[in-house]
Structure formats: structure tokens, C-alpha cells
Amino acid sequence: MAYHYVPIDASDRRLAAAALLAVSAGACVGVALSHTTTASALYASAPAAVQTQPAVAQGVAPAYAMRAQAPRAADMTPEGLVAVESDRSVPFTVETTAAQPSFTLWGLLALPVIGAIVSLFYRLGNHRTLPEMQKLGPVPTGQNPLGIPADYYTRLTMAAVTAEYTNVKSNAIFEEAKTIMPGGVSSPVRAFKSVGGNPIVFDRVKGAYCWDVDGNQYIDYVGTWGPAICGHANDEVLDVLRETLVKGTSFGAPCALENVLAKKVIEAVPSVEMVRFTNSGTEACMGMLRMVRAYTGREKVIKFEGCYHGHADGFLVQAGSGVATLGLPDSPGVPAGATAGTLVAQYNDLASVEELLKNHEVAAVILEPVVGNSGFIPPTKEFLVGLRELSTKYGALLVFDEVMTGFRIAYGGAQEYFGVTPDVTTMGKVIGGGLPVGAYGGRKDIMEVVAPAGPMYQAGTLSGNPLAMAAGIKTLEILQRPGSYEHLEKITKKLINGILDAGREAGHEVCGGSISGMYGFFFCKGPVNRYADATKSDTAKFAKWHRMMLERGVYLAPSQYEAGFTSLAHTEEDIDRTIAIAREVMKLI
């Protein structure tokens, strides 16, 4: 845990200034004394016994400069050697003068004494005792161990975190980026459009922390949008990457590591009997969509308002106003024909799903089992069980998009957590250990329609990349260790409860929740059961919250409609510090 010792308020800044002035005054006095004649006269009048006296010393030193043609000692007689040594000797005389005392040194030695005396009198005059040097830590309810009011103790934390915040370099890099990349980013949400201001530009990450190019350190609750479940740059993952890297960065051919990761996924995820690796979650969902249509011979699919399945044309659909309707394109460039086969239902609303199933031949019902792209919205158990029953009843496949929840809310994903098994699952993020990866898998009879086993074509040059496979294998090994998911559950629940309590104490309407290492909250009374409920959140207030948390060292997803993530690297101290900062910010917004 970092300790910060910084000025707290205006009176303390005056104290620091007074101390510096005192030291400066001492320096001036010392320098002045070193140049006065009074001190020299006092020295001259001292008894001779205590004065340094001049002295003269004489002697003989060897002359080391030799003539080039001097004879060798081995060729000479003893008498000759004596003559040479005499010739090399040089007489010398050393004369010293009486030393003068160094009053500059005396003056400098006096500086700490002068400064300490002045600072002491200044402090006594203010009658204050602030715990500036006290270790920063969690803020207990009501009082901290020093007996200082909790709100004041939190103010110390805020001052410490914000003392030197700057984003000059980030701004410069981002302004340049906007001239060479659309919006200055490689993915839209990174531009901070939802929260205002410019984004920070990352320099490095490690564990639960990230650093920007200006040197600011943050506790990170984005985790590269989910993959960093073991913490950024985990040492064990880095070790296997180094070992794999020397063998090559890409093969474009079968790799033994694919078999290892595939078997681990099949063992973990209840619905998966075979798996196909891709390079991203979007690519996995594109392959899945084509596969379920090929397997069923039907074209229409049901998705849910507010659920995100990548940026493929067929998924960029906006629902009608509060009712399940035929989808309309939600992005320019998407032809109407691309979304004609996409139907939209309401999350946590079985009636809206059955209405569509009754009236259309549906290939698959596709959903995020826990919504993360409209903020954190959990399902009811009845909803998931009902979807399983309705899909089977009407001959549709049930697909869980577990790109976000897979290996995060449980080792076997949401389907293990809720006990509901779909027919097909898409995955990504965690299974690549922080490297680009995606996958889709399911029942063997369904997966065998994929080429080359079957007629449904899907391919990828970098699919099964050895680096991603190696990182994924090690990440899953770490997650299988005892206590991993218990730790995620404990710290994430403490974090979200602390944030919600802080909001309510400050008079805000807030609601939210968590499952294992995934959480989220909204600035509204709630409950939030679907996307329409989430849109009632005060996004302007969230934008203020986000910026003020950022400036105090907490990096959060830059959108009200994104879930947050914790990792095995987050500690109790990280959570306590974040809650203390949240408490202060909630009072200010």
C-alpha cells in the first residue's frame, strides 16, 4: 500500500511555507557571518596555543621522470646503482600557513536548528496536531483509530491521492491520435464520449494497477474489459509467454497448445463438447450465428434489447419502444436486409420471448446470461430456466454469449453458476489470458456442421495463435486453484456494497449488485431488470463521478452502461481505499 505525505489544507501549506522561510533565513545568516571581519578578529585575539601555526618541512623525494637511454640496473655495479638513485632524488620544501575557520560551514550547520525553532513556535501558536504522517487506510464507520471524524480522515485520503494529478501528456497524445485515427481510438468506448473529457493514455499495467503516460497510478476496475482476471501482467502468464515466444509468434498451422486449451474448456463448460477458436468475441459470435442457422435451417434469431454480441451487422439492432419488434439497423452502413432476421425481446421478460417464438420460425435465442453491456443486469433464475424450456418447446437453440461471464462469475461460466445449460456458448476475454482470442462451442452434433467437418464455412488466419493458447492455459490453471472465486466474490461484494452505501449516505438514488468478479451500479432508484430500466440512470451524474474518481486514482469503465471487473490481484486495501475515495466523491457530486 502506498503512503502519501502531502499538505492537507491551506493552514498546513502556510506551515510548510513558514518552515521553508525559516531555513532560508538561517542560510542568509550563515553566509553573512562567513563574510564578516568580526569573526576573524575574534579568532586572531585567541591565545597562540589554540591558533594553527605556520610550519616549514624539508625532504628528498624520488624523481620518477627517467631519461630514455638510462642503463638497466641489471648491467650496473653496486656503486653505479647508488649513483643512479642519487641522481633520481629531488629535494623539496613544504610551507604551511595559518588556517582560518570556515564560518560558511558553521552557518550551514545552524540551519536545521533555526528552522526547527521557528517551525516549533509556529505550530505551538496554531495549537493543531494533524496526522499528516499517519498511514492511509480504511475508514471505519464513524471514527478511525486516531479518533478523527471519518469525513475528515477521508479528506486526508483525497488530498493524498490528488496532490499531483496531471494529464498533459495524455491530452497531447490523444489530440494527435484524433488526426490519424477515427476519434483518436481503436474502439469507440475508449474515447470517453459518455463521460466527457479526454481519455488517459496508458503507459503500463501490473497486478490491480495501471499507470498513464503522465505517471499517475490508478486502481483498475476495467481489467482490459474483463480478461485480466488474474491481474495485469501476471508473472506466471508472462513466463509461459516468454517460453512460447521463442518458438514463434504465429504458425497458421495446427498447434498442440490448441488441444490443451480445448480440453480445458470442454471440461469446464457444461454445454461444450467441441470448440472452435477465433480471434475475438465478435468473430466468435459471427461464427455462432452462421452455425445455428446452418444447423436448424432457419434464419431468424432472437436477441434482447441492450445485449451486445459484437459488431456484426445482424446484431446491431435497436429494439422498438418497449415492445418486441422486428429489428431496425442501429448503425449507418448496415443494410435493412442484414437485420431482417433479427428479432428483439425484453430481458427478464419471458412473455416477450414466447410471443416471438409463437409467430416466427426461430433458429436460436441468444443472450448475455448476465448483461454487462447495459451496465450490470443479472437475470432471474426463473428467466433462464424459462428460456431453456421455451427454446426446447419451439425447436430453437439456446445460446449463451459468455464472452464476458465465461470463467469469470464461475469457472464453468454463468451456466454453471445458474445451473442452466444452453446448446451453444460463445467465449473470449478470460480464455486468452489477456491476448486476443474468442471461441464458440456446443453440442457435438451442432459443432460438426462447421468446416471442414461440415458445410458451414468459417476460418481465421491467426485463430489458435500459440501465444493466446499458452496464456489461456496458464490463466485457467490459476483460476482452478482453491480460493480463487471465493476471493473474487468477497472483494467484489465489499466494493459494490461500499459504493452503494456511500451513495445513499450522500443522498443519491443508487442501485446495483455483483456476482463473483463482475459488478455494476446505476444512479437511479431501481430495480434495473432490463435496458429500459437502465436508461433511467442519471448519466450526467455518472460522468461527474467517473471524472472525479479518475482524478483521485480510480480507473472505472467510462460509461454508465458497462460492467466493472475485479481480479485476483485486488487486495482488501485496494477495496478500502476505493470506498474511501467513493465516499468523498459521492459528497461532492
Q: Which residues contact 476 (CB under 8 A, 6 or more apart)?
A: 261, 264, 268, 407, 431
Nearest to 223 by CA among 583, 581, 562, 584: 562
Task: Tell me if residue 584 falls in helix, strand or coil.
Answer: helix
φ and ψ at residue 143, rounded to 5 degrees: -130, 155
Nearest to 332 by CA among 352, 346, 316: 316
> Cα separation of 566 and 518, whole Å?
7
Question: Active-site residue among 264, 300, 303, 429?
Answer: 429
Question: Active-site residue among 153, 295, 308, 531?
Answer: 308
Vertex 425: Cα angle to 292 and 563 (nearest 5): 125
Question: Active-site residue among 212, 214, 220, 401?
Answer: 401
Active-site annotation holds for 220: no
Burial 89-101 (b: 16+ CB within 10 A, else e): eeeeeeeeeeeee
Residue 74 DSSP class: G
Residue 328 CA: distances (Å) to CA of 265, 285, 343, 346:
35, 19, 9, 15
Residue 371 DSSP class: B
Active-site annotation holds for 401: yes
> Cα separation of 307 and 316, whole Å?
10
> Cα separation of 166 and 213, whole Å?
10
Active-site annotation holds for 178: no
> Cα separation of 302 and 358, whole Å?
12
Find out whether 562 and 189 touch, Cβ atoms under 8 Å: yes
DSSP string covering 209-239, please? EEEETT--EEEESSGGGTT-TT-BT-HHHHH
DSSP string covering 82-94, please? HHHHHHHEEEEEE
> Cα separation of 305 and 371, whole Å?
10
Torsional sign, CA 59, 65, 69, 73: positive
Nearest to 569 by CA among 198, 119, 205: 205
Nearest to 138 by CA among 116, 156, 112: 156
Find out whether 119 and 548 touch, Cβ atoms under 8 Å: no
By annotation, the residues acting in catalysis are 308, 401, 429
